[in-house]
Amino acid sequence: MRPALRQRLGGLRPGVRTRDAEETSGAQERSRAEETSGIEETSRVEGDDDSPWGRPPVIEVRSLLKTYGHGDAAVRALGGEPDPVTGVSPGMNLLVEQGDMVAVMGSSGSGKSTLMNILGCLDIPTEGRYLLDGIDVGGLDEHQLSLVRNRKIGFVFQSFNLVPRTPALAQVELPLAYAGVRSAERRRRALAALALVGLADRVHHRPNELSGGQQQRVAVARALVTAPAMLLADEPTGNLDSHSTEEVLAIVDRLNASGRTVVLITHEDEVARHAKRVITLVDGQVVEDRRQAPADGPPPALRDPASFAAHHPQDPITGGRRQALTSGTSNGFGSGGTA
């Protein structure tokens, strides 16, 4: 495996081991290396970090189609219906650059969830090509896809998906444990991630001891602790009240301002207005692609806070809390790549 690809896919560097630890973990590490080595032949395309093309887009979708069923019962979920004359479907093309913040909108049945599943490597397209951070995921087997999901994508779901009766610290450590990071390093990274989302004083609290907004902030910390190439959030504020919504969106704004690439799947205008770019889907096709702020700059809420607030006055209850969360410095989890 080339060094650039090894760094991209196995970028979680477990620190220095003791001799005993090396003896007990050597076989496991060799096994992991063998499991990931097959990715090189089918995955890496032009755009390695040391290539003249520079860093590749985080997301590159080419002529993507997704169909469920067969024959007369076939349903085209993504890519549009075939042309009645040529019989060719237009397909979906999408490019998301490093550091962008994109909201994908659409009504029920528009293809939002299908697109999210494909971008998150939870499903595969019927036709077309998907490159994630320069890795062509189309030729990977299920185990290799699980490695890509662990190292490249930070998931945030509407329903939080926290493990019952498990403290926040252990929740955030979980992806690092799957990646083979040693205990001390897991704890350090998890504590830093929880501090970043304002939960340094809640590390030992279980889900039933946290509010809905706090649970979603634990989920955000868990998503970013591996320093993924992309934060993929599916209706992240759908189960939250207005106060908690502002808190979570403020954290996402800060993460993106520090360089994290964010893709939000949402039907809420209030969420979409935080994005730098808004894509609207209808019947599995992009019908609108609107740029709200430059990809390489801060998101709208931080680019011009006064204008952003003027278009949507802050709630007197949430205004002060939002200001506190949007101010502050990054601790290393904000930028893309390996922390």
Taking residues 27-47, what's their average pLDDT?
A: 43
Is the pLDDT higher at 54 or at 260? Answer: 260
Taking residues 77-98, what's their average pLDDT?
A: 87
Q: What is the pLDDT of residue 65?
A: 94
Q: What is the pLDDT of residue 323?
A: 38
- Residue 53's pLDDT band (cuts 50, 70, 90): low
Q: Using the predicted structure, report yes or no on whether residue 97 has a pLDDT greater than 80.
A: yes
Strands 101-105, 230-234: parallel, antiparallel or unpaired by DSSP? unpaired
pLDDT in tens, 56-75: 899 999 999 999 988 878 88
> How far is it, in rounded angstroms, from Cα 325 to Cα 34?
43
- CB atoms under 10 Å from CB of 148, counted, come to 24
Q: Using the predicted structure, report yes or no on whether residue 114 has a pLDDT greater than 70.
A: yes
Burial of residue 111 (CB within 10 Å: 0-12, 13-18, 19+) is: buried
Instruction: Give the whole-number percent of the chain exceeding pLDDT 70.
Output: 76
Taking residues 44-57, what's their average pLDDT?
A: 58
Q: What is the pLDDT of residue 9?
A: 58
Q: Using the predicted structure, report yes or no on whether residue 202 has a pLDDT greater than 80.
A: yes
Q: What is the pLDDT of residue 48?
A: 46
As given in the structure block, the two tokens for residue 129 are 């090509």
As given in the structure block, the two tokens for residue 256 are 């993106």
Q: What is the pLDDT of residue 132?
A: 96
Task: Walk me through the domains of the chain, giving residue ranges and CATH numbers.
Answer: 3-43 (no CATH), 99-122+136-326 (3.40.50.300)
HSE, side-chain direction, 13 A CA sphere, residue 86:
6
Average pLDDT, the chain: 82
Q: What is the pLDDT of residue 310?
A: 85
pLDDT in tens, 137-163: 988 999 999 999 999 999 999 999 999
Q: What is the pLDDT of residue 82?
A: 80
Q: What is the pLDDT of residue 89?
A: 82
Q: Using the predicted structure, report yes or no on whether residue 106 has a pLDDT greater than 60.
A: yes
Q: What is the pLDDT of residue 86?
A: 80
Taking residues 41-47, what's their average pLDDT?
A: 43
Q: Using the predicted structure, report yes or no on whether residue 174 has a pLDDT greater than 60.
A: yes
Global pTM value: 0.79
